[in-house]
Amino acid sequence: MSEVTTVSAPDADEFTLLHRVQAPEGEGREILDAATREVIGRAPVRTITDLDEAVTRAKAAQPAWEERGHEERSALLLKAADAIDAHAEELARLLSREQGKPLNGPNARFEVGGCAAWLRASATTPLQPEVVVDDGETHAELHYRAVGVVGAIGPWNWPLMITIWQIGPALRMGNTVVVKPSENTPLSVLALLSVLNEVLPADVLTGVPGDGAVGARLASHPDVGKVMFTGSTATGRKIVEGSAGNFARLTLELGGNDAGIVLPGADPRAIAQDLFWGAFINTGQTCAALKRLYVHDSIYEDVVSALRDVAAEMPMGNGLDEKNVLGPLQNQQQFDIVSRLVEEARANGGRIVTGGAPAPELGELFYPVTLVADVTDGVAIVDEEQFGPVLPIVRYTDVEDAITSANRLDVGLGASVWGDRDEARKVAFRLQAGTVWINSHGGVHPMAPFGGVKGSGYGLEFGVEGLKSVAVPLVING
C-alpha cells in the first residue's frame, strides 16, 4: 500500500449530471465523498406517496412499452448503451467519489464500461419460442411475455453495474421498472437513470431514492409483479415476507462468504495475482469476492508470502488519483465491521501478515489490505462475511476437510478451486455454490447465468435465463 496525494481536477460534466439529479438547495440529504468525507451533493428523499405515484405511472406506461416489441425495445436499449458511453467519464468520476472505488483498475471506469456492455447483451440476446411438444397430435409452444412493473432494489458496492443487471433484462422483456437505489450511493444511480432516460420513453424507467420504508413498499406494492434485490440476507428475508401479499416473483442475490480451495501442487506465484483480485476487487466490497481461503499445508506459507508480495504493490488512496487501484470502505458501518473482525482474529491468535490497522493518514474510512494467517473455522473473521479488504487464510491437510469447511456455512453464492484443472473440476462439483470458478474467482459473463444457493438467495440473472426470470411463461397449445 502506498499513499498518493495528487488528485485530478473534477470534470465539468460530472457537475452537469449531478445538477440534473440532486435535490434543490436546502433540501434532501447530504452525500459525502467516500475518500475525503466532503459533501458531494444532496440526494432527493422521496416518500412512500412518491413511490406509489411512480408505480402508478410505470403501470400506465407498461402496455405501450411492451407493444413496441422486442426489435424496437432492443434498438432503444442499444441507443441507451451509446448514451452511457457518451457520459462514461462523468459517470465514473461521480461513482468514484460517492462509492470510493478508484477510477482505474477493476473499478469505476470498469464498472461504467460494464454497464454499457451488459445493456447491449440484454438487448441482443435472442429468446425464441420453444416447441415443447410436437408429436403429431399436440403442438405446444412456450413463449415469454412481460411481468408488468418490476421493482429493482440495488446495493451500494456496485451500484451502477447491478442496477443495469436488474433493469436491462426487465426493459428488454417489455416491463417498466421502478428503481430504489441504496441510501449510500443514490446520486450515481440517479445520474445513470438520467442518462438512460435521454433515450427511453417517459415513465418506463423511474428512480425513487428514499429510506428503507420506500424499499419495503416497493417490495410489497400490489402493482409490482417482480422484485429484484441485491443486498444482505437479512434484508432479503424481509423482502420475501413483504412480497407475500402480492405474490411478486423474486430474484434475490444475497450475502455470501465465498470459499476458495488451493490444492496441493498449485503454483503459489502463478496464482497469486488472480487470488488477490478475487478477494480484493472493489477493496473487497463485492458479494462474490473470495472471503476465506483454504490452502494445503504443503504450500501454505508460499501462498501467504506470494499474496503478501502482491498486496505490497497495490496503491491505495483517493479514487480520483489515476495511480490508485484500491480505495476506502464506502461507509462507517462497514469500516467498523472490518475493524472488529480483524481485532477479534488477532485476539484469537491470528497472524497479521500485512495490514491489520486503519490507515488514517489516507483518510477516515481507509483500511489497508489485511491478510490474516493461522486462523480456523469458528473464528468470526472466517465465519462472517467481511465485505472489505480482509482475507483469512486457513491451513488444511486433507482435501475432504477443505470441502467440508467450504460447505459448512449457510451461504453459497460462489466458490473457487485452484490447481490442476481436472482435479479442481472434481472438487468443484462437490461445492455448494451457485458458481464455482477454476483458477479464478468472481468473474462474470453476460451470457453465463449467475445466482446463489442456501442463504445467498435464489433466481438467476444474465443470459437467456436472466431474460426468462423477468418474464412470465405462456404456453400456446394447439
Query: Quick check: 184 and 38 in contact, CB under 8 A?
Result: no
> For 430, which DSSP code?
T
Selected catalytic residue, list 111, 183, 253, 385: 253
* Residue tagged 458479494 (cell numbers): 287
Distance of CA 450 to the CA centre of its chain: 11
**Nearest residue to 146 via CA among 205, 69, 81:** 69
**Nearest residue to 386 via CA among 276, 284, 277:** 284
Query: Quick check: 303 and 276 in contact, CB under 8 A?
Result: no
d(CA 83, CA 233): 34
253 is catalytic: yes
* DSSP states of 176-203: EEEEE--TTSHHHHHHHHHHHTTTSPTT
Hey, is 367 helix, strand or coil? coil
- For residue 380, how many other CB atoms are within 10 A of its CB? 17
Residue 473 burial (10 A CB sphere; 0-12, 13-18, 19+) = exposed
d(CA 219, CA 199): 27
**Set of cell numbers at residue 312:** 505490497
d(CA 163, CA 449): 17
DSSP run (H or E) holding 291: strand 290-296
Query: Quick check: 11 and 90 in contact, CB under 8 A?
Result: yes
DSSP run (H or E) holding 458: strand 457-458
Q: Which residues contact 111 (CB under 8 A, 6 or more apart)?
A: 92, 95, 101, 158, 160, 161
Pairing of strands 370-373, 351-354: antiparallel
Hey, is 475 helix, strand or coil? strand
Question: At CA 255, angle to CA 251 and CA 256, rounded to 5?
Answer: 115
* Residue tagged 428523499 (cell numbers): 45
**Nearest residue to 276 via CA among 400, 391, 153, 380:** 391
* Residue tagged 444457493 (cell numbers): 453
* DSSP states of 65-97: HHHTHHHHHHHHHHHHHHHHHHTHHHHHHHHHH
Selected catalytic residue, list 14, 90, 115, 287: 287
71 is catalytic: no
Residue 268, amino acid = P
For residue 407, report the phi and psi dihedrals to the nearest 5 degrees: -90, -5
Which residues are the active-site residues? 253, 287
